[in-house]
Amino acid sequence: MSDSRPPLLAFWSFYPAPTRAALEEHFEVVDFAQIEDRDAFFTEHGARFRALATSVVAPTGEDIFSRLPNLEMVASFGVGLEHLDLAAASARGLQVSYTPDVLTDDVADLALLMMESHARGLVSGDRFLRSGAWAKGPMPLGMRLSGRRIGILGLGRIGLAIARRAQARGMRVSYSGPREKPAHPWPFVADLEALASSSDYLVVACSVTGDNEHIVSREVLRSLGSEGVLVNIARGALVDEEALVELLQAGALGGALLDVFTHEPQVPAALLGMDNVILTPHIGSATAETRAAMGELMVQNLLAFFAGEPLPSPVP
Ligand code: 8YV
């Protein structure tokens, strides 16, 4: 049987099984990670590819685009865009798609789950029990989540989903970001240090835009204070991680609930020994349902491109 499937260069090796199956059904998938001599590969086969699939953990820019002379379409798995050189893509007239919306609920759920686990000592309680400490007496009391103040940095899709959940959970919501969103009822606090100093939990929910690296600075973390807790379900780059570790060590910051880190999958060793942190390996969107939905949307974008139809979720 001759293979009529168009070739697709895949830059990520961890697409979920249903996505992988759909890709294989429609495309002749070439795994970039399997290629040893990439230079030779590009020289020999680069011109075959009109499309590539990537994900937020695979930097995709001009070094790749320039080796694929017939490239027209880049389909990314995930909502974050900072791994893509969009300027280079646009200069080459490439169409680019991503997978927003379908992961919003899961990421927001994780943020709430982390705060609830922190407040009620779910993770520390598990450690306490397993260590045998219970036999010597009860664990320290937790605290009630309702009534706590949550400051959300970034009231975009995910920030809004967190705000709604937090409100339903009885928390007091305020937010910061580039501009006020008057359609929503919560107080806007333009200054991030002011938001931090009036929050029990400061939740980072914005995207990386190129000029907001370390927006959660040492000063912001100081403002959050010795009772305050940082929650990051967005990107490690948004937080000054060195300052975070130092302030936690000094007791100047109350805690940190982190799903993302500066140099994933590396995590600062000092965090591993701390009891007032909860660490998860970038699992905001990592449910079978959501990852399948993200994959389906990515495949739909690729199929639309090859059919000459408008992309369902183009990067704006
Ligand atoms: C990743 C994410 O897509 O969507 C994003 O921006 O960070 C995640 O959902 C996922 O971890 C796969 O790389």
State pLDDT tens for residues 228-270. 999 999 999 999 999 999 999 999 999 999 999 999 999 999 9
CB burial readout 264-295, b (16+ within 10 A) else e: eeebbeebeeeeebbbbebebbbbeebbbbbb
At 201-222, the pLDDT tens digits run: 999 999 999 899 999 999 999 9
In the predicted structure, residue 63 carries a pLDDT above the cut 80: yes
> 80 alpha carbon to ligand 1 midpoint, in Å?
7
pLDDT at 258: 99
> 131 alpha carbon to ligand 1 midpoint, in Å?
34
> 243 alpha carbon to ligand 1 midpoint, in Å?
25
**Domain covering 104-279 in this structure, CATH number:** 3.40.50.720
Mutate to test the pocket of ligand 1, among 81, 103, 258 (most ligand atoms within 8 A of CB): 103
Rounded to a whole number of angstroms, the CA Rg of the chain reads 22
Structure tokens that stand for 1 in this block: 């049987």
Closest CA to 58 of 32, 28, 34: 32
What gap in Å lies between CA 250 and CA 119, rounded to an integer?
21
At 19-35, the pLDDT tens digits run: 999 999 999 999 999 99
7-102+289-306 belongs to CATH 3.40.50.720:
yes
Sign of the four-CA dihedral 224, 171, 267, 270: positive
Distances in whole angstroms, Cα of residue 131 to Cα of each of 122, 142, 217, 270, 271: 14, 18, 36, 21, 19
Cβ of residue 103 lying under 6 Å from some atom of ligand 1:
yes
Same-fold call for 7-102+289-306 versus 104-279: yes
Residue whose Cα lies nearest atom 6 of ligand 1: it is 80
Q: pLDDT above 90 covers what percent of the chain? A: 98
Kindly list the catalytic residues: 235, 264, 282
CA 284 to ligand 1: nearest atom = 9
CB 301 within 8 A of CB 97: yes
In the predicted structure, residue 144 carries a pLDDT above the cut 80: yes
pLDDT at 64: 96
Residue whose Cα lies nearest atom 4 of ligand 1: it is 78
In the predicted structure, residue 1 carries a pLDDT above the cut 60: no
CA 56 to ligand 1: nearest atom = 13
At 84-138, the pLDDT tens digits run: 999 999 999 999 999 999 999 999 999 999 999 999 999 999 999 999 999 999 9
What gap in Å lies between CA 33 and CA 254, rounded to an integer?
41
Mutate to test the pocket of ligand 1, among 97, 285, 296 (most ligand atoms within 8 A of CB): 285
Residue whose Cα lies nearest atom 1 of ligand 1: it is 78
Residues 6+ apart with CB under 8 A from 14: 55
> 291 alpha carbon to ligand 1 midpoint, in Å?
9
> 234 alpha carbon to ligand 1 midpoint, in Å?
9
Cβ of residue 208 lying under 6 Å from some atom of ligand 1:
no
pLDDT at 2: 61
What gap in Å lies between CA 42 and CA 68, rounded to an integer?
7
Cα 222 vs. chain centroid, distance in angstroms? 24
pLDDT at 230: 99
CA 235 to ligand 1: nearest atom = 7
Backbone angles phi, psi at 87, to 5 degrees: -65, -45
pLDDT at 264: 96
pLDDT at 3: 81
Residues 6+ apart with CB under 8 A from 82: 56, 207, 208, 210, 235, 237
Angle, in degrees to the nearest 10, between helices 104-120 and 122-130:
50
Cβ of residue 78 lying under 6 Å from some atom of ligand 1:
yes
Q: pLDDT above 70 covers what percent of the chain? A: 99
Domain layout of the chain by residue ranges: 7-102+289-306, 104-279
